[in-house]
Amino acid sequence: MTPHKARACILRVGGTNCDAETKRACHKSGIEAEIVHSRELAKSQALLSYDFLIIPGGFSYGDYVRAGAIWAKELRAKLGKDLEKFVEDERPILGICNGFQVLIEAGLLPQIEGISVYPQAALGTNMPPGYNCRWIHLSHVGKGNCVFTKNVDANSVLKIPVAHSEGRFMFARRNEDKYIKKLLDEDQLVFRYCRRDGQYADGEYPFNPNGSFFDIAGICNSYGTVFGLMPHPERAYHRWQLPDWTETGLEPSYGDGKLIFDSVADYLEKRF
């Protein structure tokens, strides 16, 4: 019997535009991945034949209404049951940038009490406003729960770029204390924006590039298998993609984004 090889599904709709480089990153980390149009998946109902679901970056449906909102509702409406089973099976789901916005709008994150019908968080218009493409530093604050950062040392600092105009993570004011406590208690807070030396950005621009509450850049569900982040790890996979490689040299030959793809590759290998 040939061992089951884990397969990733990289979903796309009109306006998705980071699918190719995300697939490239998966392949480099040994994950077999295919790009599938969301409509095709709705038609084939084949979500459960995959082991890993990725919602990549872009401007799904032009980001009309709110970034990620339309696609999120479509996924819930058309794949609802399978999506819930996918999560319950602890098969990993990764949302990058627009994908993170989709996961939030779909109620798949933060999952305060499981998957929610209405969003429990929001990724609002950047503060300061406007599209912002820059390399930022992330402090890894996860304690080991998130399967996407198993290979990332505790409290280490990662350098990965962001590029978005709606990335300001927020909770409803009245829930802020309660929810942040939950995220911390359940080890759901994974990445916070920080300075070069690892000190939290504390809301200060440009270290925190969008005004996110609590400097939140990436979170996972309590299983650690659904993970969303605004920065683009697929753009920081190779050393030559870094903005200072001409100063710091090409060794080691990889960037920090690789750790995320390698971590989930390890998880998939162990699990399947």
Q: Is 134 one of the binding residues for another protein (CB under 8 A)?
A: yes
CB 153 within 8 A of CB 117: no
Amino acid identity, position 14: G
234 in active site: yes
194 in active site: no
Q: Is 215 one of the binding residues for another protein (CB under 8 A)?
A: no
Give the residue, chosen from 7, 17, 143, 182, that forms a contact with another protein under the rule CB under 8 A. Answer: 17
Question: Residue 233 Cβ, how far from another protein at the closest point, in Å?
Answer: 10
C-alpha–C-alpha distance, residues 59 and 98, integer Å:
7
Please give the size of the binding site for another protein, defined by CB under 8 A: 56
Cβ distance to another protein smaller for residue 52 or 61: 61
Q: Which of 18, 97, 194, 220 is catalytic?
A: 97
Q: Is 129 one of the binding residues for another protein (CB under 8 A)?
A: yes
Cβ distance to another protein smaller for residue 60 or 145: 60
Q: Is 102 one of the binding residues for another protein (CB under 8 A)?
A: no
C-alpha–C-alpha distance, residues 8 and 5, integer Å:
10
Give the residue, chosen from 234, 256, 259, 265, that forms a contact with another protein under the rule CB under 8 A. Answer: 234
Cβ distance to another protein smaller for residue 24 or 271: 24
Give the residue, chosen from 15, 84, 90, 187, that forms a contact with another protein under the rule CB under 8 A. Answer: 15
Q: Is 120 one of the binding residues for another protein (CB under 8 A)?
A: yes
DSSP the chain: -PPPPPEEEEEE-TTB--HHHHHHHHHHTT-EEEEEEHHHHHHHT-GGG-SEEEE--B-GGGG-SSTTHHHHHHHHHHHHHHHHHHHHTT--EEEETHHHHHHHHTT-SS-BTBS-SS-SSEEEE-SS-S-EEEEEEEEE---S--TTSTTSPTT-EEEEEEEESEEEEE--GGGHHHHHHHHHHTT-EEEEEE-TTS-B-TT-TTTSSS--GGGEEEEE-TTS-EEEESS-GGGSSBGGGSTTHHHH-S-SSB-THHHHHHHHHHHHHHH-
Give the residue, chosen from 92, 95, 99, 119, that forms a contact with another protein under the rule CB under 8 A. Answer: 119
Q: Which of 137, 140, 164, 232 is catalytic?
A: 232
Q: Is 252 one of the binding residues for another protein (CB under 8 A)?
A: no
251 in active site: no
* Catalytic residue numbers, as ranges: 97, 232, 234
- Kindly list the residues in this chain that would bind another protein in the complex (CB under 8 A): 14-15, 17-18, 20-21, 24-25, 37, 39-40, 57-59, 61-62, 65-66, 69-70, 73, 105, 118-122, 124-134, 161, 163, 170-173, 211, 232, 234-235, 237, 240-241, 243-244, 246-247, 250
